[in-house]
């Protein structure tokens, strides 16, 4: 509990915390959608490949000139990267850490 309080003290503002909460909500929603459509990752290699594909899509949007970037596409791609990282943890990494 004290560790969580220390983490909260590092947050710069309530507004930042609200944005983080919204981001986590979007990631969880995408995680659920993608998992229901595609199932779990079967290996670390598969998980890495999917994360890399999503990261490349985000990179493609980021590398556009600022005036050509689509803010909604940036959010969409960043959420997909976060959701696939969460899938990796759930499907590949965390099960290996269980006793």
Q: What is the pLDDT of residues 25-51, one digit of tens each?
A: 999 999 999 999 999 999 999 999 999
Task: For residue 3, name the pLDDT band (cuts at 50, 70, 90).
Answer: confident
- The predicted-structure confidence for 8-27, as pLDDT tens digits, reads as follows 666 677 787 888 899 999 99
- Looking at the structure, give the CATH architecture of the domain made up of residues 2-97: Orthogonal Bundle (1.10)
For 50-72, what is the mean pLDDT? 96
Provide mean pLDDT across the span 90-98: 77
- CA gap 30, 55 in Å, rounded: 15
Specify the residue for token string 């969460």: 86
Sequence-ordered list of residues with C-beta below 8 angstroms from that of 58, at least 6 positions apart, any chain: 74, 77, 78, 80, 81
Domain boundary assignment for the chain: 2-97
Q: How far apart are CA 11 and CA 24, in angstroms?
A: 15
Q: pTM for this one?
A: 0.81
Confidence at 94, pLDDT banded by 50, 70, 90: confident
Indicate the average pLDDT of the chain.
89
């Amino acid at each position: 509990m004290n560790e969580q309080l220390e983490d909260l003290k590092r947050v710069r503002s309530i507004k930042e915390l609200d944005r983080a909460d919204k981001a986590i909500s979007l990631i969880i929603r995408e995680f659920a959608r993608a998992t229901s459509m595609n199932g779990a990752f079967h290996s670390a290699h598969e998980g890495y490949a999917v994360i890399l594909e999503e990261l490349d899509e985000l990179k493609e949007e980021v590398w556009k000139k600022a005036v050509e970037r689509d803010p909604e596409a940036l959010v969409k791609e960043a959420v997909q990267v976060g959701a696939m990282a969460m899938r990796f943890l759930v499907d590949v990494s965390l099960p290996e850490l269980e006793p």
